[in-house]
Structure 1
Amino acid sequence: MSRLSQAELSVMTRLHALSTPLTAMSDLTAILNEALEAIMELQGADFGNIRFYDDATKTLKIVAHRGLGQEFLNRFETMDASDATIQGSALRSGARVLIHDIITHPDHRQDRDIAA
């Protein structure tokens, strides 16, 4: 049996610490905010968001966020498949879209100012 690295142990400890209070919470917004904070901590992220897909309107909507500016929220709060954005691409294809560098990606010029 291999031993866990310190980083792996830290991640497992954080996930356990997250799961315990979530089981007692009934407020979905509070649960999502706690989950987002934990995910950002585990990933070493400075900002992030959680989106829900609304099947009735065929849109993605930001339901929790941290560290995002108002300009970003105004532009990307609700997205649909017709949007010429990363989120629109994902909705059209039905698959995950990975962009390694939005600043240099040729299909997403319109998002560069906000991304920067």
Structure 2
Amino acid sequence: MPVEVRIARILGPFLLAMGLTEPFAMPVFAAQTGPVVYLNGTLLFVAGVAILQAYSRWTQDWRSLVTLFGWVMTAAGLYRLAQPAAPQLDAGPGTDAVFLVLIAAGAVLTLKGYRRT
């Protein structure tokens, strides 16, 4: 099984779960302390770098989503490591759009990762 498919099988369900559950946890996120945000940044950074080490190719199909989310997770993790006391996102249309993107990308990656070949 190609590495991008193995990553899609992990990343797809993860993004779906994030996009579907985070809207309900917004009040919890707003109350997080710096150390918790820093820990989250560490996990995001390591996961992003791990994805990029395993697969980092820009193609003209769904596989670029794997690379894109590797870079997004790395950048988001680095930001949270550097700015753990920064305000967290508030609920609103922009945040809702982010959740919809996570759900859509998660659905695509899950379908591509688990489709019969």
TM-score in terms of structure 2 length: 0.26
- Greater helix share, structure number: 2
Q: Please say which structure displays the higher CA radius of gyration.
A: 1
Q: Which has the higher contact order (CA 8 A, sep 6+)?
A: 2
